[in-house]
Amino acid sequence: MNESLSGYKGRVLDVLVKSKVQVGDLIRINKGDITYEGILIPRSELGDDKHIVIKIRSGYNIGVEVTEETKVTKIGVEKAPAFTPPALPAQKPGLPKVSIISTGGTIASRVDYRTGAVRPAISASDLYSIVPELSDVAAIDTQILFSVFSEDLTPKHWSKLAVTVAEHISQGVDGVVVTHGTDTMGYTAAALSFALRNLPVPVVLVGAQRSEDRPSSDAASNLIGAVSAAAKAPFAEVVVAMHETISDESIVLHRGTKVRKLHTSRRDAFKTVNAQPIAKVLDGQIVKLTDDYLKRDKEKSLILQPKFEEKVALIKFYPGMDSKIIDWHVEAGYKGIIIEGTGLGHVRQAIFHSIKKAIEKGVLVAMASQCIWGRVNMNVYTTGRDLVAMGVVPLQDMLAETALVKIMWILGQTQDKEKAKDLLATNLAYEISSRTVDTN
Amino acid sequence: MKVDFSAVGLKVGLECHQQLATKEKLFCACKPDLFKGEPEITFLRRLRPTQSELGQTDPAAYFEFLKGVKILYEADSKTSCLVEMDEEPPHELNREALETALLVSLMTSAEPVDEVHVMRKVVIDGSNTTGFQRTCVVGMNGSIVVDGKTVPIQHISLEEDAARKTGADGLTVRYRIDRLCVPLIEVTTGPVIYSPEEARKVAYAIGRILRATRRVKRGIGTIRQDLNVSISDGALIEIKGVQELDLISQIVEFEVQRQLSLLSIRDELKKRGLSEDEIRDDSADVTSDLAKTGCRVIQKAIGQGKKVFAVKLPKFSGLLGKELIPNLRLGTEMADRARFWGRVGGIIHSDEIASYGLAEDELCLIKRILKVEQQDAFVLVADTEENAFDALRAVTERAREALKGVPEETRGSNPDGTTRYMRPRPGAARMYPETDVPPITISKDYVSRLRSQLPEPLEKTVERLIKKYGLNEKLARQLQDSEYVAVFDELVERTKVSPTFIAATLTETFKALKRDGVEVDKVTDDQLIGVFELLGLEKTSKEAIPEIITWLTKNESSSPSEAIKALGLSIISEQELSNVVDEIIRNNEDAVRTKGEGALGFLMGVVMKKYRGKVKPDQVNAVLKERLSKLKKKSLH
């Protein structure tokens, strides 16, 4: 693709190439007796091949249709604006050290008002200049690990991320922040919870529900909350830091194995399910919400177990589900299946035989509930009891997504089916709690 | 002061904003209505100024952010959803609103753009939850003719209205988001208007075009003008939010006068030999020197633990108290600045200090501390140290600007035609694409279809109103300039009431009611139709209309029949009327006996006084006549 004519294609691209203009040029478009002048702007990839987009003098963009009579002339070059960052705030001595690892999206960014492009701020000094409050909280080191959408992350990325976090911890930082797209942040949080055991310092995942280029973005306040937690939270666990409500007040810290994205767009989309969040950050202070946590202790030595088995599936049961779906997974060599059953943990009897066959072939099959809230109990109805008798592992109050990640991680550590089954049913990182209290 | 506006180089440009009467808001399916009473939902936000590539931030907004300004938004679930709360991406651009903007483009000979791109215009005073206003250009390069002169129309834009400010409490500003996302059309003229009166006429002309679409809202706040006013040697001043079109010429006149006065202050300061670096920010803490003052304001502040600071303004003596325009002095301008930047209640300056009750020795002391000499002025502020510091910095800054002439700023309009400082003028509009809303192609077919069904221009409306409905020209013109021209046709068609009576009610009667403080704007089209329908069906009388309208403005969701019931203004039955007449004749036997049929006028008066609104005069007249002639016959026999 033509970089200097980003997004343009077909006939319009031909016209622009012939007219020897590129994005950022001041151009004149003549169409019969109508004339437009403005800066040539990149075209969205999804746009058609009939319009040229220019920014007119008042700052507005308009699309001008290209017809047979359209003539484009370059009349000047708009200077690419040079950015002079404001003076950096003075770095306070003696602050905790925090590493920020970026996995994609952008933590903070600047808009180029000339072309509308959003450019990520990468270096620590960029970050300080955009979110100056950070310089009061911690001495920051940054690393860009991936630049991918969170839905494109795979268990291989989790492994690499776990190794990278471990490297930073081994260098003696007081906490690690991982910036992450929100769509699969819950999965990654669970993955790190299992892959990084006996943590000496906190690992805080953070994202934003409103993009960073807008004044109302939650990115900066979430990031400040995340860095504060990494720098001074009393616990050493994997957590997710996001808005507690739709107000810009408190940033709540959800335990990595208990957190789920429960809304498509709200700032407070993330909730702790079947438990309480560990703490929140309010006015720069950490407010504990429970005393049950693993304590920060730099003397602890981290246990890194970053392997995940990818041949594991999460299958949501629905009325009338075909048993062949289970069969296909078995034949395709899947080693573990989490079923998201109905209610207390049920599926229709018509697929029992397939589940039984899967277990006989050595597939680890476990049951979580599609209700999201509450605990699986497979003793109440016969269907549940029959499934347990076949060898289906009930997963108590574990989130289905956490269960998927956990089984991937277990099968990455051991091939021993019985040991795997035991591990699956055992609480390792607060993913299972033996009692559920009313949190309303 | 008589001003030759062309000699001072007056230039005015208008930005006319009109709310549209769409069914839904611009980017979501909420009703474009306002709510009253306590909000159902509140939430607190901070807006973070984003830096542009040019390294510019809006200085006022950045200052507010640094001070920790928070915004408390108020909402209710009927008038806003997650979109206005910035908790959900915008839906697609409202096509009904887009069509209206295209109609206005065609009616002003503007060229519709081929593809509409929605932009984000950065606004971080809190009036938009997102921190930007969504806006798009729909038409360009149009023109209208006003009194034979062609006035260019630069843009026709479609944009979302902003949230409305409902108050402030310390560092927390309150906004209500019901108005946010209500569709607005913006019509921008070139800066080619050269007199205050012309500005008013152009505004009216644009208003007529907008109303001719029959798709705009009416009532207070639905049309708002921004005026860009400049004179040569002065500055470009943006005056926001003018709601009364008739105020426009007064506002422009005052603004010219204000700028001229500021220029003469500048000249006087130069004559006095003031140089910029003589104006110093150094302020003095005079709290202890005024500890026992008799000045109430200062006494109270010190009592609250606040401090008093003073700053010297060299060579400003007599100039702070000089009136620029009625009720506005250079001192007022400094006080406005101090309030904005320092969050203080106000300032005390030496030109008006006599009324504050400070003792002579206290004044001497302050003057000694500040080294104030004959030509010098000084300013006092009593507040927290931080606020007082910011306030006095704003005062000295304004003093330095006085030496240069007229500072560029954004001002708000007051109901008396004067203006007040709002904020510094923001830099170049910082706009970037709203990537959540896809661009919309405007096809040639669509445009030509719209072109073939343009609404009747309002000039033609006058002719039609005269011809079709027999209105006299004066009434037709009044109706054309009223906000009710759109509903008039429907009222006539749906009711059997005389067009002249309807027109007179919508213009003269409504004007009189407004003068009496009745908020007639609150009456909806449906209610109006109901009122005239009842009149057409003879369920009420013409005389009752003002009372019914007044009642409806106070009982907004009620129907006209409920109004009639509540006010006891139903027409009484024929039987009742005849009983009433009999009774009145009985009670006035003497008059009837002596005057005979000549008592008609008197009796008519008695009945109407008692039953105005409940009876129809001609019917009363007929019944009375019949009775009197019967009585006459009787007495003859």
A209: closest chain B residue by CA: B87
Is a pLDDT exceeding 80 seen at residue B505?
yes
Residue B237, in any domain of the structure: no
Both tokens of residue A1? 């693709």
- Partner-chain contact A59 B82, CB within 8 Å: no
Does one domain contain both B48 and B196?
yes
- Do B558 and B597 belong to one domain? no
- Tell whether A58 lies on the interface with B, counting CB pairs under 8 A: yes
Cβ proximity of A32 and A68 under 8 Å: no
Question: Nearest chain B Cα to A118, which residue?
Answer: B432
| Dmax (CA) of chain B | 108
Q: How far is A34 from chain B (nearest CA, A)?
A: 9
Residue B207 lies in a domain: yes
Domain with residue B280: its CATH number is: 3.30.1360.30
Closest partner CB to B119 (pick from A47, A61, A86):
A61
Nearest to A216 among B129, B136, B435 (CB): B129
CB A200 within 8 A of CB A169: yes
Same domain, B41 and B160: yes
Q: Could you tell me if A434 lies within 8 Å of chain B, comparing CB atoms?
A: no
Sequence-distant (6+) residues with CB within 8 A of A30 are A69, A70, A71, A72, A73
- Tell me, yes or no, whether B55 and B114 share the same domain: yes
Q: Name which of A8, A36, A53, A113 to mutate to probe chain B: the one with the most chain B Cβ atoms within 10 A of its Cβ.
A: A113
Contact B55 A64 (CB under 8 A): no
**Residue B445: in which H helix or E strand, if any?**
helix B444-452
Whether B108 contacts B138, CB under 8 Å: no
Query: In this structure, are B518 and B620 located in the same domain?
Result: no
Whether residue A63 and residue B441 make contact (CB cut-off 8 A), yes or no, is yes
Q: Show residues of chain B in contact with A48, CB under 8 Å.
A: 441
Nearest residue in A to B434, CA atom: A116
Instruction: Based on the fold, state whether residues B535 and B618 are members of the same structural domain.
Output: no
SS3 A280: strand
| Contact (CB<8Å) A51/B432 | no
Percent of chain B with pLDDT over 90: 63
CA distances for A356 relative to A330, A368, A375, A388, angstroms: 11, 17, 23, 10
Contact B55 A84 (CB under 8 A): yes
Q: Which domains are assigned to chain A?
A: 3-77 (2.30.30.520), 97-304 (3.40.50.1170), 312-425 (3.40.50.40)
**Among candidate residues A46, A188, A264, A338, the one with its CA nearest the CA of residue B88:** A264
Which residues of chain A neighbour B88 with C-beta distances below 8 Å?
A: 264-266
Note the pLDDT of residue B631.
77
Specify whether B171 is located in the same domain as B281.
Answer: no
Cross-chain residue pair B55–A83, CB shorter than 8 Å:
yes
Q: Which of B567, B591, B614 is the last residue of a domain?
A: B567
What residue type is assigned to position B222 of the chain?
Answer: T
Q: Do B439 and A65 touch (CB under 8 A)?
A: no
| Same domain, residue pair B205 and B310 | no
Which positions of A are annotated as active-site residues? 106, 182-183, 261
Residue B573's Cβ-count burial label (10 Å; 0-12, 13-18, 19+) is exposed
The mean per-residue pLDDT over the stretch B515-533 comes to 89
Rounded-to-integer distance, Cα B537 and Cα B616, Å = 12
Restricting to A residues 365-424, those with a Cβ less than 8 Å away from any Cβ of B are none
Residue B94 lies in a domain: yes
pLDDT tens per residue, range B540-555: 888 888 989 999 988 8
Q: For residue B439, tell me if it sits in a domain.
A: no
Q: Give the number of other CB atoms < 10 A from CB of residue B515.
A: 8
Residues B228 and B300 in one domain: no
Q: Are B65 and B105 in the same domain?
A: yes
Taking only residues 201 to 230 of chain A, the set having a beta carbon closer than 8 angstroms to any beta carbon of chain B reads: 210, 213-217, 220-221
Number of structural domains chain B divides into: 4
* Nearest by Cα to A204 from A253, A244, A143, A166: A253
Dihedral sign for Cα atoms in the order B351, B354, B355, B361 = positive
From chain B, pick out residues whose CB is under 8 angstroms from the CB of A270. Answer: none
Answer for the pair B62, B424: CB distance below 8 angstroms, yes or no: no
Query: Domain for residue B2, yes or no?
Result: no
DSSP code, position B355: G
Give B-chain residues touching A63 at CB under 8 angstroms.
113-117, 439, 441
Instruction: Output the 3-class SS for B495-542.
Output: CCCCHHHHHHHHHHHHHHHHHCCCCHHHCCHHHHHHHHHHHHCCCCCH
Contacts of B441 in chain A (CB under 8 A): 48, 50-51, 63
Residue that is written with structure tokens 């708002």 in the block = B224
SS3 B253: helix
- Domain that includes residue B618, residue range: 574-636
Per-residue pLDDT tens over the stretch B263-312? 999 999 999 999 999 999 999 999 999 988 888 999 999 999 999 999 99
Nearest to A201 by CA among A169, A158, A177: A169
Residue B416 lies in a domain: no
Interacting residues of B405 by C-beta distance below 8 A, sequence separation 6+: B233, B234, B235, B262, B263, B266
pLDDT attached to residue A378: 95
B59 to chain A nearest CA, in Å? 13
Torsions phi, psi of A187, nearest 5? Answer: -65, -50
Residues of B in contact with A51 (CB under 8 A): 114-115, 439, 441
Q: What is the dihedral of CA A341, A343, A347, A348, to 10 degrees?
A: -150
Residues 6+ apart with CB under 8 A from B457: B107, B209, B212
Mutate to test the interface with A, among B27, B47, B50 (most CBs of A within 10 A): B50
* pLDDT attached to residue A1: 47
pLDDT digits (tens, 9 = 90+) for A76-131: 887 665 556 666 677 788 999 999 999 876 655 666 666 666 666 666 667 777 78
Among B89, B115, B435, select the one facing A51 at the smallest CB separation. Answer: B115
- Does residue B283 sit in the same domain as residue B400? yes
- Nearest CA distance, B445 vs chain A (angstrom): 14
Among B114, B157, B429, the residue with its CB nearest the CB of A51 is B114
User: What's the pLDDT at A116?
Assistant: 64
- The answer to the question of residue B444 being in a domain is no
Residue B405 pLDDT > 50 = yes
* Contact predicate B359/B293, CB 8 Å: yes
Closest Cα in chain B, distance from residue A318 (Å):
29
At residue B84 the predicted structure's pLDDT band, cuts being 50, 70 and 90, is: very high
Q: Is residue B399 part of a domain?
A: yes
- CB neighbours (10 Å) of residue B40? 13
d(CA B367, CA A139): 49
Token pair for B512: 């009189």
Mark out the alpha helices in A77-218 (DSSP H runs): 124-130, 134-137, 155-170, 185-195
Q: Give the end of a domain, one of B567, B584, B602.
A: B567
- Tell me the pLDDT of chain A (440 aa) as tens digits: 456 888 899 999 999 999 999 988 999 999 888 999 999 988 887 788 999 999 998 889 999 999 988 999 999 887 665 556 666 677 788 999 999 999 876 655 666 666 666 666 666 667 777 788 888 999 998 888 888 888 899 999 999 999 999 999 999 999 999 999 999 999 999 999 999 999 999 999 999 999 887 889 999 999 999 999 999 999 999 999 999 999 999 999 999 999 999 999 999 999 999 999 999 999 999 999 999 999 999 999 999 999 999 999 999 999 999 999 999 999 999 999 999 999 999 999 999 999 999 999 999 999 999 999 999 999 999 999 999 999 999 999 999 999 999 999 999 999 999 999 999 999 999 999 988 887 65
Residues of A in contact with B124 (CB under 8 A): 215
User: B183-189 and B11-19: which strand pairing?
Assistant: antiparallel
- Which of B567, B601, B626 corresponds to the end of one domain? B567
pLDDT mean over B15-41 = 95
Q: Which of B82, B136, B431 sits opposite A265 (nearest CB)?
A: B82
CB pairs under 8 A between A and B: 145
Residues B581 and B560 in one domain: no
pLDDT 10s digits, B436-457: 899 999 999 999 999 999 988 7
Complex ipTM more than 0.85, yes or no: yes
Q: What's the confidence (pLDDT) of residue B266?
A: 97
Q: Which pLDDT tens digit goes with each residue over B220-248?
A: 789 999 999 999 999 999 999 999 888 99
